[in-house]
Structure 1
Amino acid sequence: MFGYWGLWGLVWGISFGLRFWGLGRFEELVFDEVYFAKFAWNYLQNIPFFDGHPPLGKYIIALGIKLTGFYPWGYRWLNALVGSFIPVLAGLVTYELNRRKWLALIAGYLVATDGLLLVESRYALINVHLIALGLLGQWLVLRRSGWGGVCLGASVAVKWNGLAYWLGGVLAAWKLRWRGWTILISLTLVPLLVYILVWLPHLAQNPGMDLFTLHRQILGVHTRLGAGSDVHPYCSTWWSWPLMLRPMSYYYQNQDGWITSVQAMGNPFLWWLVLVAVLASLPQFIRRNCPWVLQFALGNYLMNLLPWALVKRCIFIYHYLPALVFGCIALAWWVETLWQTGERKLAIVALMVPGVGLGFWLPIYLGLPLRLPFWQWRFWFPSWI
């Protein structure tokens, strides 16, 4: 019924539809929209302010507001559009690793089934821009395009943890035998220049502040944030993210026994399968005898996860999302391997289970009203609430 491109259209169409359906449902600012949507508006109104992150993510939100207005749909729609393409970008990266189109499709499908990526795409938050620009930059590097450095620098200009995407891009270029001077210019100097240029409008709007002092203040904010539930009830440890022990609540309302909530929670079935795939891949990765696609996926997964072990401040489960995308690529490799080795029933189950999980938890991703018992059925552990 569907050819290869038809299936890709289905994956992107579902991804697009889920992000835009009822996008303006909540009239009030949700979670960190109280910061990022307002900061974006401040740029449009030339109001000075301080922010603990680089400015590019807010510029993008401001563009959406500029085009449509400052109201819920207006400051969310561009995030939803960018987020809908993250599964496609994951598929493009996967295809460049080994030119196997079905593996690319499986990876894109798995990324499209995640709930936390869906939630982050539906509000004026900035993680989707970090991920989209990072994946785009790495895809361009894999295609041996010098433009990858522009996107990798832009990813860091959304959040500093975009440095993991940059490092992954540099290591990929080294693996692909880029010339040393090309890496120096295209993947070191160009990203640095892009990062600095992104700051110029912010500095012009906030006179009397130089780039060095501003970065020192931002670093101070993050180091003083502290850690533990006494700082924030949804603080979580980096090692707990793959197990999905402590998701977050972005919105909650109880009206006459109807619960409306938005839970920043991954698709449990997908996340647990990704963890299994990562653990199964580690022996090959350590022995350095795994194929390039698995080496790339697992290397980037670890580069996006392990540095958080060094962070002493309060951190949250959404910091796992950049690593998760690469975990989905590793899981896709295992699913395809199962299919090719004759374990087709197991491969089909591994493909179906994340889709079932997305459907089951979809009401608390989209903020659909549920009766209390049906809402409680979706919270399997006390730490999920």
Structure 2
Amino acid sequence: MRGSVLWGWIGPLLVTLFGGILRFMQLGHPNAVVFDETYYMKDAYSLITHGVEHVTIKKADEAVMAGNTDIFQSCAPQELEKCASYVVHPPLGKWMIGAGEWIFGLNPFGWRFAAALIGTLSILVLARVARRMTRSTLLGCFAGLLLALDGLHFVLSRTALLDIFLMFWVLAAFACLVVDRDQARERLATWYEQSPITAQGPSLGIRWWRIAAGVCLAFAMSVKWSGLAFLVAFAAMSLAWDYGARRALGLRQPYVGAFNKDVPQATLAFGLVPFVTYMLTWIGWFATDSGYGRNWDQATSTGNPLFFLVDSMRSWIQYQWQVFTFHSGLQTPHNYMSEPWSWPLLLRPVAFYYEGKKGGCGAGNCSEAVLGVGTPVIWFGAVAALVALIAWYVSSRDWRAGAVLLSYAMGWLPWFYFAIADNRTMFLFYAIPMVPFMVLAITLCAGLIIGPATPTATGAMPTRRTVGAAVVGAFALLALINFWWLQPVLTGELITYTEWKARMLFENRWI
């Protein structure tokens, strides 16, 4: 890794600080329950209060905004099942939201705190992984800046929905695997230089970064089941890297070596570790008697610990099946639903919040809006970058292009099946796991445009590098201007109706 280790941290941290300030500034505004916060902020508070999700009283939103935290339906001890709320997502994301409520209280700042923190940390993770992939601190900071300026990432970082947590754990898993790839190749190179050569090569010992990736992928699935697609894809990608590393070393049996030396530990990292971790996130459901479908009385009826375990697992599996069938049949129409093939072009964003007001903004008609939409300069630039990456990968088989394309595809293509075969209700913000890989695609292309750092004989940089740096810098400036223009309709700022309407890029589809 060329360049200063110190600046390799200071640069990304400064970009992260910038993104964090944007996300935490007036985080409690709008002082209202925004979009699906109505589900998750209450489920989160129930988790930290009761260990499982409970049914709330009618008009719970109004009670919360009035400062009343006694919002759960009361049940007699013999009627605990009536308190159980049927929820269709695993609990981890709601536990994370609940942590903010536990610290800051049941209020908009409290239930949005975790999303803002995780959104901010994702900027740092992306900047560092981009630096590792490009071997450039400058390009790492460029990637972090673009993520900080993306509108959809910004809005989800300021809203108590689950998707920002899914995106973070997917990105963290990807970052762990990139580090694992570097370390595995370093160990192979050291063995090649110091040990007698064998046909299959060595065992690489415990690969903690790959195990960490398995934990992160389990956390992703523990937020939303769509994390499963990334588990399968990342496992295949990591093993492909192992095969490629042994083949690049010139071993006579690289594939047999990878199968014998790498697959067993990969099975641990991508099989056993995710399963155990996923089950641990359900500990509240297993440990309490009032979870949906828990059947506690039946599980404890014999006093036999083995029967308790078996019956509890049976109830849990039945519950998971009910959730699966719910998602498979989710076809409720919504004004802001969209098809996945429209997502890259931002054809149908989601209005998270809108309130028209009379006066207060210097005009007769005023608006406060939170629109869940990406920054067009970044998203449209990513479309071009992804096309370029396809050509790059076909021509060079560069692992970085392949990894980014695969990760982007896992965040996008599975939704095509649900759209075609299931006619499922979907929204643009489901695309948030794609966003870090869109930014990485732009960053890799920026590296190609700038070119390698090879000074001429006189010590000056070639013209191509100067022009390339100017092009990349201009793109970053355009993204900043575009985000600044959209910012009033991303944060619920009080503006005139005319100013709000002027920011609707595709008027018939954005309104």
| TM-score (norm. length: structure 1) | 0.93
Does the Cα contact within 8 Å between 1:96 and 1:139 map onto a contact in 2?
Answer: no
Q: Identify the residue that residue 244 of structure 1 maps to in structure 2.
A: 346
Q: Identify the residue that residue 219 of structure 1 maps to in structure 2.
A: 324
User: Structure 1 unaligned runs (5+)?
Assistant: none
- 2:240 pairs with 1:175: yes
Task: Give the C-alpha shift of residue 383 in structure 1.
Answer: 0.1
Distance 2:282 2:13 in 1: 37
Q: Identify the residue that residue 383 of structure 2 maps to in structure 1.
A: 275
Describe how 1:110-121 pairs up with structure 2 within 5 A: 110-121=146-157
Q: Identify the residue that residue 205 of structure 2 maps to in structure 1.
A: none
Q: Identify the residue that residue 168 of structure 2 maps to in structure 1.
A: 132
Query: Percent identity over the alignment?
Result: 27
Deviation per CA, 1:240-296: give whole Å up to 9, x if none. Answer: 0000000010111111111000000111111000111112222233x2624222221
Task: Give the C-alpha shift of residue 119 in structure 1.
Answer: 0.6
The one-letter code sitting in structure 2 at the alignment partner of 1:155 is A
Quickly say closer, same or farther: Cα 1:95–1:163, change in 2 above 3 A.
farther
Distance 1:351 1:234 in 2: 30
Describe how 1:181-196 pairs up with structure 2 within 5 A: 181-196=264-279
Quickly say closer, same or farther: Cα 1:6–1:377, change in 2 above 3 A.
farther
Does the Cα contact within 8 Å between 1:133 and 1:154 map onto a contact in 2?
Answer: yes
Task: Give the C-alpha shift of residue 371 in structure 1.
Answer: 0.7
- 2:303 pairs with 1:303: no
Q: Identify the residue that residue 149 of structure 1 maps to in structure 2.
A: 214
Quickly say closer, same or farther: Cα 1:377–1:259, change in 2 above 3 A.
same
Distance 1:288 1:124 in 2: 43
- 2:283 pairs with 1:200: yes
Does the Cα contact within 8 Å between 2:130 and 2:443 map onto a contact in 1?
Answer: no
Distance 2:30 2:137 in 1: 39
Describe how 1:94-113 pairs up with structure 2 within 5 A: 94-113=130-149
Does the Cα contact within 8 Å between 1:135 and 1:165 map onto a contact in 2?
Answer: no
Task: Give the C-alpha shift of residue 133 in structure 1.
Answer: 1.4
Does the Cα contact within 8 Å between 2:19 and 2:120 map onto a contact in 1?
Answer: yes
The one-letter code sitting in structure 1 at the alignment partner of 2:402 is Q
- 2:336 pairs with 1:234: yes
Distance 2:45 2:10 in 1: 39
Describe the SS at the equivalent of 1:254.
strand
With 132-141 and 12-21 compared, the bigger mean Cα shift is at: 132-141
- 2:442 pairs with 1:334: no
Distance 2:368 2:490 in 1: 10
Distance 1:161 1:288 in 2: 31
Tell me the C-alpha RMSD between the 2 structures: 1.9
The one-letter code sitting in structure 1 at the alignment partner of 2:318 is T
Q: Identify the residue that residue 98 of structure 2 maps to in structure 1.
A: 62
Q: Identify the residue that residue 372 of structure 1 maps to in structure 2.
A: 497
Task: Give the C-alpha shift of residue 4 in structure 1.
Answer: 6.1
Describe the SS at the equivalent of 2:503.
coil
Deviation per CA, 1:1-47: give whole Å up to 9, x if none. Answer: xx665543332122111111111122221111100001011113323
Does the Cα contact within 8 Å between 1:269 and 1:353 map onto a contact in 2?
Answer: yes
The one-letter code sitting in structure 2 at the alignment partner of 1:380 is L
Describe the SS at the equivalent of 1:258.
strand
Distance 1:34 1:85 in 2: 25
User: Structure 2 unaligned runs (5+)?
Assistant: 1-6, 55-83, 181-208, 243-257, 296-311, 359-364, 452-463
| TM-score (norm. length: structure 2) | 0.71
Task: Give the C-alpha shift of residue 138 in structure 1.
Answer: 2.1
Q: Identify the residue that residue 361 of structure 1 maps to in structure 2.
A: 486
Deviation per CA, 1:144-183: give whole Å up to 9, x if none. Answer: 2122211111111101111233234313321331711110
Task: Give the C-alpha shift of residue 50 in structure 1.
Answer: 1.5
Does the Cα contact within 8 Å between 1:90 and 1:108 map onto a contact in 2?
Answer: yes
Task: Give the C-alpha shift of residue 317 in structure 1.
Answer: 0.3
Q: Identify the residue that residue 253 of structure 1 maps to in structure 2.
A: 355
With 97-106 and 214-223 compared, the bigger mean Cα shift is at: 97-106
Q: Identify the residue that residue 51 of structure 1 maps to in structure 2.
A: 87
Deviation per CA, 1:334-376: give whole Å up to 9, x if none. Answer: 1121122444232222222111111110111111111111111
Distance 2:133 2:505 in 1: 37
Distance 1:375 1:330 in 2: 31
Report the structure number with the largest CA radius of gyration: 2
The one-letter code sitting in structure 1 at the alignment partner of 2:380 is W
Distance 1:357 1:164 in 2: 32
Deviation per CA, 1:120-155: give whole Å up to 9, x if none. Answer: 111211111111112112222222212221111111
Does the Cα contact within 8 Å between 1:247 and 1:384 map onto a contact in 2?
Answer: yes
Quickly say closer, same or farther: Cα 1:196–1:288, change in 2 above 3 A.
farther
Q: Identify the residue that residue 21 of structure 2 maps to in structure 1.
A: 17
The one-letter code sitting in structure 2 at the alignment partner of 1:377 is A
Q: Identify the residue that residue 40 of structure 2 maps to in structure 1.
A: 36
